[in-house]
Structure 1
């Protein structure tokens, strides 16, 4: 019998409920990770598991989004400007991650095996993803 994902297990769901309550109490301010650990009385591992589960629950139930900023930490239900800033930061982070993957792994693979069907396919797809993320980041 396969084990249930830690992100969707009963314990993670209890931790997510605790974190949601703590974050609603802190609104409109956010909580940094150490503050979230102290306020929830959960361990750092339990907070990470609860945050992952909370993101899943938020997505499935249509609740206000959970965002993180360096200045304010974790927040629920923020204003549109904060949501846009968070989305731009995530897109820029993913764009950097993709570019490093392309230049550090895929490009050397393509140089070593230029006639490989797989590498031609992945280069085309990743270039498309990079272009799309770049358009979003600069919009």
Structure 2
């Protein structure tokens, strides 16, 4: 179920939104180049944890405010991107990471729970949902028709 804008705004702190804006402004100054996290902390004068919260808030706010996508790469660090090929590659990498994380949850948590309670409706439901999400992410990360 989708969250309403008011629910998202309540969950996101105004401080995190300010950190996101500071990150956006810092990256605008160096665009099209990017900044790695250590440089981002120096330029914005935010702590590492504030950068992490600011980046999370940036990704939420970007869609609402029309800000450009903000992928990360080893070469450029965090940078604005409007190149479809680069964004697709970054999204596939993201989907692969999430698919791996969900596979770990399925194998490390749900499988043991299912062994303890093999007739549990909750475990069956949760396992089915997690397997569906993992399968979808795997299809995004590794499409068959390229």
Q: Same fold (TM over 0.5)?
A: yes
1:40 matches 2:34: no
* TM-score normalized by the length of structure 1: 0.86
| Unpaired stretches in structure 2, ≥5 consecutive residues | 1-9
2-structure distance, mates of 1:108, 1:79: 43
Task: Please provide the CA RMSD for this pair.
Answer: 1.6
Residue 129 (structure 1) shift: 1.4
1-structure distance, mates of 2:98, 2:133: 10
Map of 1:12 onto structure 2:
16
Map of 1:99 onto structure 2:
103
| Unpaired stretches in structure 1, ≥5 consecutive residues | none
1-structure distance, mates of 2:122, 2:27: 46
Moved over 4 A (4+): none
- Most deviating of 125-134 and 45-54: 45-54
Map of 1:89 onto structure 2:
93
Map of 1:60 onto structure 2:
64
2-structure distance, mates of 1:32, 1:15: 16
Find the partner of 1:21 among 19, 25, 35: 25
Contact 1:28 1:78 in 2 (8 A): no
2-structure distance, mates of 1:122, 1:81: 34
1:113 matches 2:117: yes
Residue 106 (structure 1) shift: 0.4
Residue 53 (structure 1) shift: 2.2
Map of 1:122 onto structure 2:
126
- Most deviating of 80-89 and 39-48: 39-48
